[in-house]
Structure 1
């Protein structure tokens, strides 16, 4: 089936940009359809599909006029595997991304490897409807995977997480990263217990970036940054997260690495309340890690990275030792790197401190990014050293 698109959209697709918006279509949206995109003269442009998701209404998968069949998906997965050969050679890490959506020419899905298991995330109904064919191609290219779980990251009445094929993973499943162990749960809702895109930050911490430092890990989730910092010789770590599960989960991560808890503090409380508490108790830190969700809400406050990140920076400066470091991170795709950096530096200027950007990180190489689709490179991590006097 064909659908006409605007000349501007046709030009973008021809240059490799894969995402389609509603205004790109010259005909009513035929949702949940696999389509051939044509220009106003009905000239072939690309093949792909329409399926509503958080960003856009569809994806171009190829500008070649070929069937989107089993052989097509086998080829995509084979190319994705080739890109990641170096990760298969790494004996210190067995968890990484195998397929990164548009970065591997298949917008609308990702696949992560956790040891001998894989987790497929579907971001729209259309791609999910084709899952048998897609997963058959996947297991042909990745035969070593013992079990595949799926996560449905679109609105649906179905269960958001389940085993799709193969055997159940142990609970917890212990993965290895930078020679450290992390406990993950592959069938506990949409989350697994670790964000694999932050592997390089944890790697720096594990290699001694925070050696002899007092580290504060805000929005700590399961404490993975804290574990890495402790393993790398941090003097102490403090992990703060509002979720009650964070206490048990963080203790589990330390236990997985046989790290005693005598210098590891875990606080279940609101982040902004913790800043007030720390000031009241005269607590100061040498390294503060800020990696909040893009959006969070509690009884008193709504937090949005694109509006409120500067407040986190200001509050951090107040409890940071002189020449301390703030590791500022966000995965908000709608916040451009320049704007994020400007937010941080404006907040630092308001606090009348000197600062130096010492390191920048974005997505690791297994999170392949298409150069024509810069929005895919969503992660921004900036290391700032702060001089207060």
Structure 2
């Protein structure tokens, strides 16, 4: 736990949301269970293993001491989450959480929810993916974007802030999509976004009618019972990409599981969409460094050729 305590002793006052300690990357032996995140004005401490009360008290004391140094006179707000395979437990340890908790990243604003559930509405490790998306939109003003498995639509916000003309957001979970609508309102880009509460796999006809898109973002869960299993379902997604992309269009292909490496995505795209050209892997934020980068978040960029033969642009009937 010492590496975590050392990181706390060096904390600076955050302005943007972000991770400040990533034990899960394996670079701090003995601290693999710990993560510390800033969601200003709240700190979130996560443990992926059971924690004794005296350990929590020691960490809380370290946070309080450092906060008194960097924000004298201001109350310390922090939440503890114990995450296991069953149900996460969240506790407000000190202070309070804003009634509407809004955080920022690079000037964009997002609503988050720390007290309930495992996920909080905003994935910190995807920061570079959002930056790539905004840079893409700045370089392709007026582009049309499809955001599949949109969750709370942070990719959509990034694209629209960069100058995209329109984004279609698809996700079967209507609760996160409602948060996504709020995120667009917070950033003043709601007029250029559409929200579709549909299962992606049962909505291909509707999705295809919106094509072609200049950018398609694929960010599915790695495993969600009854919804998506990467080893089985990613091929079904990859197969659809060519018919959804405009000539010269890009795809941002994402996967976050330590069980599957970059080769899984590359092999899947090579088999199911061989006409697409691999461009690059987007680097993860430095704070999320891992002893084995193949365990960490994978964000790959692909490109549709400028000239696509008709036989390559649409999946055969049996694959639809």
**So what's the TM-score if we normalise by structure 1?**
0.70
Match status 1:336 vs 2:264: no
Aligned counterpart, 1:231: 161
- The 1:286/1:153 distance shift into structure 2, 3 A limit, reads same
Using the alignment, how far apart are the partners of 2:268 and 2:180 within structure 1?
30
Match status 1:182 vs 2:79: no
Aligned counterpart, 2:318: none
Bigger RCO of structures 1 and 2 (CA < 8 A, at least 6 apart) = 2
Task: Give unmatched runs, 5+ long, in structure 1.
Answer: 1-71
Using the alignment, how far apart are the partners of 1:310 and 1:382 within structure 2?
15
Task: Give per-residue Cα distances to partners, 1:200-249, cap 9 Å, x unaligned.
Answer: 11112233255321101111111110011001000100111101213321
Match status 1:382 vs 2:300: yes
Using the alignment, how far apart are the partners of 1:81 and 1:366 within structure 2?
17
Q: Which has the higher helix share?
A: 2
Aligned counterpart, 1:125: 50
Residue 193 of structure 1 aligns to a residue whose secondary structure is coil
**Map 1:1-389 → 2, pairs under 5 A:** 73=2, 76-79=4-7, 94-101=16-23, 102-105=26-29, 106-126=31-51, 130-143=55-68, 144=71, 146-154=76-84, 160-165=89-94, 167-207=95-135, 208-209=138-139, 211-261=141-191, 263-279=192-208, 281=209, 283-298=211-226, 302-349=227-274, 353=275, 355-369=276-290, 373-374=291-292, 377-387=295-305, 388-389=308-309
Q: CA deviation at 1:155?
A: 5.3
Q: Which has the higher strand share?
A: 1
Using the alignment, how far apart are the partners of 1:275 and 1:120 within structure 2?
40
Using the alignment, how far apart are the partners of 1:284 and 1:273 within structure 2?
19
4+ residue runs over 6 A deviation: none
Residue 229 of structure 1 aligns to a residue whose secondary structure is helix
Task: Give per-residue Cα distances to partners, 1:164-216, cap 9 Å, x unaligned.
Answer: 12x21213211110111111122122221100111111112233255321101
Using the alignment, how far apart are the partners of 2:203 and 2:140 within structure 1?
21
Using the alignment, how far apart are the partners of 2:239 and 2:133 within structure 1?
23
Give 1 or 2 for the bigger CA radius of gyration. Answer: 1
Residue 125 of structure 1 aligns to a residue whose secondary structure is coil
- The 1:126/1:359 distance shift into structure 2, 3 A limit, reads same
User: How many corresponding residue pairs?
Assistant: 297
**So what's the TM-score if we normalise by structure 2?**
0.84
Q: What is the aligned-residue RMSD (CA, Å)?
A: 2.5
- The 1:273/1:319 distance shift into structure 2, 3 A limit, reads same
- The 1:289/1:156 distance shift into structure 2, 3 A limit, reads closer
Residue 199 of structure 1 aligns to a residue whose secondary structure is helix
Using the alignment, how far apart are the partners of 1:129 and 1:242 within structure 2?
42
Residue 99 of structure 1 aligns to a residue whose secondary structure is strand
Using the alignment, how far apart are the partners of 2:76 and 2:28 within structure 1?
22
